[in-house]
Structure 1
Amino acid sequence: MKLKYPETRKGKVSEKYFGTEVKDPYRWLEDDRSKETEAWVGSQNEVTFDYLNQIPFRDEIKERLTQLSDYDKYSAPTRHGDCNYFYKNDGLQNQYVLYREKNGSQEVFLDPNKFSEDGTTSLSQVSFSKNGKRVAYAISEGGSDWQKVILMDAVTKEIMEDTLIDVKFSGISWFKNEGFYYSSYDKPEGSELSAKTDQHKLYYHKLGTSQKEDKIVFGDTVKRRFVAGSVTEDQKYLVVSAANSTSGNELYIKDLGSPENKLITIVDNFENDHDVIDSDGQMIFIVTNLKAPNKKVIKTSFANLQQDHWQDFIPETDHVLSLTKGGGYFFAEYMKDAFSMVMQYDRKGRLLREIELPGLGSSSGFRGKKDDQLLYYSFTNYTTPGTIFEFDPDQGASKVYKVPKVGFISDDYESKQVFYSSKDGTEIPMIITYKKGTVWNGQNPTILYGYGGFNVSLMPSFNVVTATWLEMGGVYAVANLRGGGEYGKKWHDAGTKLKKQNVFDDFIAAAEYLINNKYTSRDYLAIKGGSNGGLLVAATMTQRPDLVKVALPDKGVLDMLRYHTFTAGAGWSYDYGTAEDNKEMFNYLYDYSPVHNLKKGVAYPATLITAGDHDDRVVPAHSFKFAAQLQENQSSDSPVLIRIETNVGHGAGTPVSKTIDQYADIFSFTLYHMGITNLNKWN
Structure 2
Amino acid sequence: MEDKVNNKAKTETWVEPHRYLESNERPEVQEWLRGQAEKTEAYFQRIPVRDQLRKELTELFAHDDYGTPYGRCGRYFFFKRDAHQDMNVLYVQEGLSGTPRVLIDQNTLSGDKTTTLSSWSPSRDGKFMVYGLSKAGNDREELRVMHVATGNDLADLPIPAEGYPSFNTWNADGSGFWYTKHDPRAPLSEPKLHQRVYYHLLGSDPFGDEIVFGDDLKKEDIPSVGLSEDGHFLKATVWCQVNGLHCTKLFIKDMRKVGGNFILVLKKQPGSEFSTMTHRGQLYIRTNYNAPRWRIEVLDINEALQGRIHPTVLIPESDALVEEYDVVGNHLFVSFLHNVHTVIKQYDLNGTVVRELQLPGLGTAGGFSSEAEGNELFYSFSSFVVPPSIYRLDLTTGSSALFKKMDAGFDVRKIKTTQVWYRSKDGTTIPMFLIYKKGLAQNGNNPTLLYGYGGFDISLTPNFTSSIVPFIERDGIYAIANIRGGGEYGKEWHEAGMKTNKQNSFDDFAAAARWLIQAGYTRKERLAILGGSNGGLLTMTTITQNHDLVKAAIAQVPVTDMLRYHLFDGGVHWIPDYGNPDEPEMRKYLFGYSPYHNVRDGEKYPAVLIITSDNDDRVHPMHSYKMAARLQEANTSSNPILLRVELKAGHGGASAISKYVEQASDMWSFVFDQLGMIK
TM-score for both structures, normalised by structure 2: 0.95
| Cα separation, 2, equivalents of 1:168 and 1:604 | 40
What per-residue deviation string (whole Å, max 9, x for no partner) do you get for residues 7-42 of structure 1? xx4322112112632222100110122111111111
| Cα separation, 1, equivalents of 2:86 and 2:223 | 31
**Aligned pair partner of 2:210 in 192, 198, 215:** 215
1:94 corresponds in structure 2 to 86
What are the residue-to-residue correspondences of 1:181-580 with 2, within 5 Å?
A: 181-186=178-183, 197-225=192-220, 226-245=222-241, 247-271=246-270, 272-281=272-281, 283-305=282-304, 309-328=310-329, 329-580=331-582
Q: CA deviation at 1:653?
A: 6.8
What per-residue deviation string (whole Å, max 9, x for no partner) do you get for residues 529-562 of structure 1? 0000000000001000111101001111100000
What is the SS of the residue equivalent to 2:286? strand
Q: CA deviation at 1:244?
A: 3.1
| Cα separation, 1, equivalents of 2:476 and 2:359 | 28
**Aligned pair partner of 1:84 in 62, 66, 76:** 76
Q: CA deviation at 1:452?
A: 0.3
What are the residue-to-residue correspondences of 1:621-660 with 2, within 5 Å?
A: 621-651=622-652, 654-660=655-661
Conserved? CA contact 2:654–2:660, under 8 Å = no
Structure 2 residue 27 is the aligned partner of structure 1 residue 35 = yes
1:681 corresponds in structure 2 to none
Q: CA deviation at 1:98?
A: 0.8
Structure 2 residue 97 is the aligned partner of structure 1 residue 106 = no
- More divergent stretch after superposition (361-370 vs 423-432): 361-370
Conserved? CA contact 1:447–1:477, under 8 Å = yes
Letter in 2 for 1:676: M
Letter in 1 for 2:147: D
What is the SS of the residue equivalent to 2:508? helix
What is the SS of the residue equivalent to 1:70? coil
Q: CA deviation at 1:454?
A: 0.4
2:158 corresponds in structure 1 to 163
**Aligned pair partner of 2:47 in 55, 77, 81:** 55
Q: CA deviation at 1:487?
A: 0.5
| Cα separation, 2, equivalents of 1:128 and 1:667 | 39
Conserved? CA contact 2:269–2:289, under 8 Å = no
2:177 corresponds in structure 1 to 180
In structure 2, the CA distance between the partners of 1:399 and 1:669, relative to structure 1 (3 Å rule), is same
Conserved? CA contact 2:279–2:327, under 8 Å = no
| Cα separation, 1, equivalents of 2:288 and 2:167 | 23
Letter in 1 for 2:130: A
Q: CA deviation at 1:394?
A: 4.2
| Cα separation, 1, equivalents of 2:73 and 2:285 | 28
What is the SS of the residue equivalent to 2:178? strand
In structure 2, the CA distance between the partners of 1:542 and 1:640, relative to structure 1 (3 Å rule), is same
Q: CA deviation at 1:459?
A: 0.6
| Cα separation, 2, equivalents of 1:290 and 1:613 | 39
The sequence identity of aligned pairs, in percent, is 38
In structure 2, the CA distance between the partners of 1:188 and 1:336, relative to structure 1 (3 Å rule), is farther
Letter in 1 for 2:622: A
In structure 2, the CA distance between the partners of 1:451 and 1:426, relative to structure 1 (3 Å rule), is same
CA RMSD of aligned residues (A): 1.8
Conserved? CA contact 2:129–2:148, under 8 Å = yes
**Aligned pair partner of 2:113 in 119, 122, 136:** 119
Q: CA deviation at 1:597?
A: 0.2
What is the SS of the residue equivalent to 2:335? strand
- More divergent stretch after superposition (254-263 vs 424-433): 254-263
Conserved? CA contact 2:364–2:461, under 8 Å = yes
What is the SS of the residue equivalent to 1:353? strand
In structure 2, the CA distance between the partners of 1:150 and 1:652, relative to structure 1 (3 Å rule), is farther
What per-residue deviation string (whole Å, max 9, x for no partner) do you get for residues 554-610 of structure 1? 1111000000000110110001002212x2211110010000000011111100100
Q: CA deviation at 1:157?
A: 1.4
Structure 2 residue 61 is the aligned partner of structure 1 residue 69 = yes
| Cα separation, 2, equivalents of 1:44 and 1:317 | 51
Conserved? CA contact 1:443–1:520, under 8 Å = yes
- More divergent stretch after superposition (588-597 vs 120-129): 120-129
Conserved? CA contact 2:180–2:195, under 8 Å = yes
Q: CA deviation at 1:137?
A: 0.4
In structure 2, the CA distance between the partners of 1:666 and 1:139, relative to structure 1 (3 Å rule), is same
- More divergent stretch after superposition (624-633 vs 40-49): 40-49
Conserved? CA contact 1:75–1:87, under 8 Å = yes
Conserved? CA contact 1:386–1:462, under 8 Å = yes
Q: CA deviation at 1:190?
A: 9.7
Q: CA deviation at 1:267?
A: 2.6
| Cα separation, 1, equivalents of 2:185 and 2:540 | 30
| Cα separation, 2, equivalents of 1:190 and 1:616 | 17
| Cα separation, 2, equivalents of 1:290 and 1:393 | 32
- More divergent stretch after superposition (370-379 vs 588-597): 370-379
Conserved? CA contact 1:17–1:579, under 8 Å = no
Q: CA deviation at 1:444?
A: 1.1
What is the SS of the residue equivalent to 2:101? strand
| Cα separation, 2, equivalents of 1:46 and 1:515 | 35
Conserved? CA contact 2:164–2:191, under 8 Å = no
| Cα separation, 2, equivalents of 1:619 and 1:323 | 30
What is the SS of the residue equivalent to 2:504? helix
- The runs of 5 or more residues in structure 2 that have no matched partner are none
What per-residue deviation string (whole Å, max 9, x for no partner) do you get for residues 502-521 of structure 1? 00000001111111111111
What per-residue deviation string (whole Å, max 9, x for no partner) do you get for residues 461-509 of structure 1? 0121123322232211101111111101111011100000000000001
What is the SS of the residue equivalent to 1:303? helix
| Cα separation, 2, equivalents of 1:530 and 1:365 | 23
What is the SS of the residue equivalent to 1:602? coil
What per-residue deviation string (whole Å, max 9, x for no partner) do you get for residues 247-291 of structure 1? 32121111222341111112332522111122312x221111111
What is the SS of the residue equivalent to 1:309? coil
In structure 2, the CA distance between the partners of 1:589 and 1:307, relative to structure 1 (3 Å rule), is farther
Q: CA deviation at 1:189?
A: 9.6
| Cα separation, 2, equivalents of 1:361 and 1:378 | 10
What is the SS of the residue equivalent to 1:249? strand
Letter in 2 for 1:207: L
Letter in 1 for 2:347: Y
- The runs of 5 or more residues in structure 1 that have no matched partner are 1-8, 679-683
Letter in 2 for 1:377: Y
Conserved? CA contact 1:95–1:653, under 8 Å = no
Letter in 1 for 2:324: L
Structure 2 residue 596 is the aligned partner of structure 1 residue 595 = yes
1:150 corresponds in structure 2 to 144
Conserved? CA contact 1:125–1:139, under 8 Å = yes
- More divergent stretch after superposition (389-398 vs 542-551): 389-398
In structure 2, the CA distance between the partners of 1:307 and 1:469, relative to structure 1 (3 Å rule), is farther
